[in-house]
A and B are shown apart, each in its own frame.
Chain A
Amino acid sequence: GENVEQHPSTLSVQEGDSAVIKCTYSDSASNYFPWYKQELGKGPQLIIDIRSNVGEKKDQRIAVTLNKTAKHFSLHITETQPEDSAVYFCAARFQGAQKLVFGQGTRLTINP
């Protein structure tokens, strides 16, 4: 069935270093892949998304890469800052569906 696997579940990096979170999806026809950041007690906030016709997208310190052949996509955060600490969720929209299927989440901690 439709499935998105996300790794790692927790990630701790030093301030200023880079963080990478990876996701794999099951349906090769998936066409839309957003990433959300969720701070404690708040709703998820869209930080970046990518569509299946693009291999990479960047927005300042955040980038997402997509490998359709391998069915995986990754979030890259460079020059991490304490305010980047949060839970990050990847998601995929499978072809023909309205809904998103979410990964299990990654708790990112930035150590000062």
Chain B
Amino acid sequence: GAVVSQHPSWVICKSGTSVKIECRSLDFQATTMFWYRQFPKQSLMLMATSNEGSKATYEQGVEKDKFLINHASLTLSTLTVTSAHPEDSSFYICSGQSQETQYFGPGTRLLVL
């Protein structure tokens, strides 16, 4: 149980375009979802906390107008990277919370050319 999926698993885009990443909880309802980014050989860096039906809470230093998060249902959250630039290239991982536990998705690798 407690499976989280992400789509796409990898994406390559041109600089200046927008990219949407989907995160789904497959067998549980996630009132709260989290979005992280991870650079090579580094730890997980929390970008934002998303509660279903309300605005996301962004961590300090994360631009909310650049990283748009929508959590419209208990099983789906989306992250849109707007006007992507090469420095946005990273591994983006979401997690869904079931009771106290966070279950992570498989991640989405984004490469911006």
Is B100 in contact with A32, judged by CB distance below 8 angstroms? yes
Known: A43-B93, A99-B49. A36 touches B34 (CB 8 A): no
Task: Report yes or no: B43 in contact with A100, Cβ–Cβ below 8 A.
Answer: no
Binary per-residue interface labels of chain A (96-112) against chain B in the complex, 1 for a CB within 8 Å, 0 otherwise: 00111011110000000
Q: Tell me whether chain B's interface is mostly helix, strand or loop, or mixed.
A: strand
Task: Provide a sorted-by-A list of 24 A–B residue pairs whose CB atoms are within 8 angstroms.
Answer: A32-B100, A34-B101, A34-B102, A36-B104, A41-B109, A42-B106, A42-B107, A43-B4, A43-B93, A43-B106, A45-B104, A46-B101, A46-B102, A49-B101, A51-B100, A89-B43, A89-B44, A93-B100, A98-B49, A98-B97, A99-B34, A99-B46, A103-B43, A104-B43
The 6 A-B residue pairs whose C-beta atoms are closest, nearest first, are: A43-B104, A43-B107, A43-B106, A44-B104, A102-B44, A102-B43
Interface residues of A in 29-80 (CB under 8 A from B): 32, 34, 36, 41-46, 49, 51
In whole angstroms, how far apart are the Cα atoms of A7 and B71 in the complex? 36
What 0/1 readout, one digit per residue, does chain B (87-108) give for beta carbons within 8 Å of chain A?
0000001000100111111110
Check B32 for interface membership: any CB of A closer than 8 A: yes
Determine the interface band of chain A, counting residues with CB < 8 A from chain B.
Answer: 20 to 34
Is B32 a contact of A98 with CB atoms below 8 Å? yes
Q: Hey, which bits of chain A sit against chain B, CB under 8 A?
A: 32, 34, 36, 41-46, 49, 51, 89, 93, 98-100, 102-105
Q: In the assembly, what is the distance between CA of A36 and CA of B93, in Å?
A: 14
> B38 to chain A: closest CB distance in Å?
9
| 15 extra A-B contacts, CB within 8 A, seeds A34-B101, A44-B44, A105-B43 | A42-B106, A43-B4, A43-B93, A43-B104, A43-B105, A44-B93, A46-B103, A46-B104, A89-B43, A93-B100, A98-B32, A98-B97, A102-B44, A103-B43, A104-B42
